[in-house]
Amino acid sequence: MGYSVDTEAATSAESTSSRIESAIPWWRWLRLCVSFPALMAVLLIAVALIGAESRLIDPDTWWHVTVGKEILKTHSWPTSDTYSFTARGAHWIAYEWLGDVFLALPARAAGLMGLVWFQKTIVVVLTLLIYLYAYLVCGNSKAACIAATVVLPLAPVTFTLRPQMFGYIFLLLTLICLQRFRQGHEKALWFLPPLFAIWANTHGTFVFGLFVIGVDWITGLVNFRVGGLAGNRIPAPQRIKLLLAFLFCILATLITPYGSQIAANPFEMATAQPLNIANIQEWQPLSLAFPAGVYVLCFAAVLFVAQVVLRFTFRLEEMILLLFGLYAACAHLRFAMIFVVFVVPVVAAILGRWVPVFDPTKDKLLLNVAIMAVVVLGLIKFRPSERQLQAVVAADYPVHAVEYLRAHPRPLGVFNEYGWGGYLIYKLGNTQPVFIDGRADLYEYSGVFPDYMVAALGQAGATNILARHNVRTCILNRTSALTALLRQSPDWKLVYSDDLSVIFDRVEQ
């Protein structure tokens, strides 16, 4: 979806971009790779990678990798749960199976280090696409770089190694295709249906892609100007092509090993999983208690004041997406990246009015190369070592307690913290069934989720729930409410303890 402050600015930016591109023969693309715009891209990447350092592994990463490895090993797709004892045999499909496979490949090749480098690669691709999209809108590499720099502080919130990161890449590719279509490159549309076939099998964010195309087509039906809002009618031939591409994209989402079940999943999550939405942290609203919440609020306020004072003209579709992105980020923390993607071209187009266009004749290539080399060498030198990565994992996950369970296997299921279930699956597979893990949909539908919440919070009836599920062992965070309860209970015995976790066994009568 392209953005610009007005049609004349977009036309001017486009013609400038076209003249620059036509003036560069193929043999001089290497020169472009060490130009000032390329230097800005390298600096942007460095900022993004530094911001992503603290977001290496997510609790769900572990089970996604395990499921992906199992698919690669068996060449089949799961249709029921095999990792828990509370919902074993219940209907469950890998809605993000292709994303799981993408994650399993580097993990299988190089373990934890492979996952970390894969995450860095995804962050690099996302950053470059944000920069490229902003540039295509405004035709000004400096304005695009500044816009990307301004919005990037929000991105690390969602820089966790999960299939949703692929979804943001696909969303940016969709927006770039639509922008190219608007600039006269109609063949860009036919890249979208195969993209959506991959996207639907990778992550449920494909619904945002369909939303963007739908908004683009609907707003292209009208031509008007009211105050600072304008609608631009798309010519009938192009409108028909856009509609056909949209319909083919919808059909492409049905090309899955599970038929239409994957396409229906985003809507089921939005309407049929209230406990998941209400209790999982990433689904919580973007609170002002977090820096990201303050940043979004300030960002929105600055844009509002700028509009009041400077009287920009926005297209109807860009205003719809901007407001939707703001709503999505405020409603759910995990959608902060949606706001980033929808706001960056708006900022770039505004900045393009004042920031001077890059002049290739004044470029200092040797200085660019020197700075890029320093940045790249710095990133390589200060990359985390295997030992540091293991320490990061050990700080958040029960590494040593799991080794204890491996050495002393329990014949029955183990009650575990929600955020540790994926790690237990990753380390122990289905040899040591878990009580719960990050597949919240499975546990909500099977009725396990509410039981877990009562037990984990140490509420009245917690021990009764453990008994009802025949739990004989609990692996818990040493500071949890249930840990405090079991310490006081004569029916439970502490058998393992470290700085992070404890293990209790039920005392046999």
Closest CA to 273 of 96, 419, 447, 95: 447
Closest CA to 373 of 38, 53, 78: 38
Span 171-186, mean pLDDT?
Answer: 95
Report yes or no: 312 and 5 within 8 Å, Cβ to Cβ.
Answer: yes
Task: Report the alpha-carbon distance of residue 275 to residue 462 in Å, rounded.
Answer: 18
Query: Which has more confidence, 202 or 311?
Result: 202
What Rg, from alpha-carbon coordinates, does the chain have? 25
Task: Report the alpha-carbon distance of residue 20 to residue 37 in Å, rounded.
Answer: 13
Task: Report the alpha-carbon distance of residue 70 to residue 274 in Å, rounded.
Answer: 30
Q: Is the pLDDT of residue 384 over 50?
A: yes
Query: Which has more confidence, 16 or 420?
Result: 420
Model confidence pLDDT, tens digit, residues 45-80: 999 998 887 677 789 999 999 999 999 999 999 999
Q: Is the pLDDT of residue 315 over 90?
A: no
Report yes or no: 196 and 249 within 8 Å, Cβ to Cβ.
Answer: yes
Report yes or no: 101 and 72 within 8 Å, Cβ to Cβ.
Answer: yes
Model confidence pLDDT, tens digit, residues 240-295: 999 999 999 999 999 999 999 999 988 888 777 888 888 887 788 877 777 778 88
Task: Report the alpha-carbon distance of residue 32 to residue 169 in Å, rounded.
Answer: 24
DSSP-based three-state secondary structure for 492: strand
Q: Is the pLDDT of residue 17 over 60?
A: no
- Every domain of the chain and the residues it spans: 7-373, 397-506
Model confidence pLDDT, tens digit, residues 467-489: 999 999 999 999 999 999 999 99
**Residue 11, both tokens:** 């036309």
- List the single range of 49-63, 111-125, 202-216, 452-466 with lowest mean pLDDT: 49-63
pLDDT value, residue 365: 86
Supply angle C-alpha 370, 374, 378, rounded to 5.
170
Q: Which helix (H) or strand (E) holds 278?
A: helix 274-279
- List the single range of 67-71, 381-385, 386-390, 466-470 with lowest mean pLDDT: 381-385
Helices 206-219, 316-331: inter-axial angle, 10-degree rounding: 150
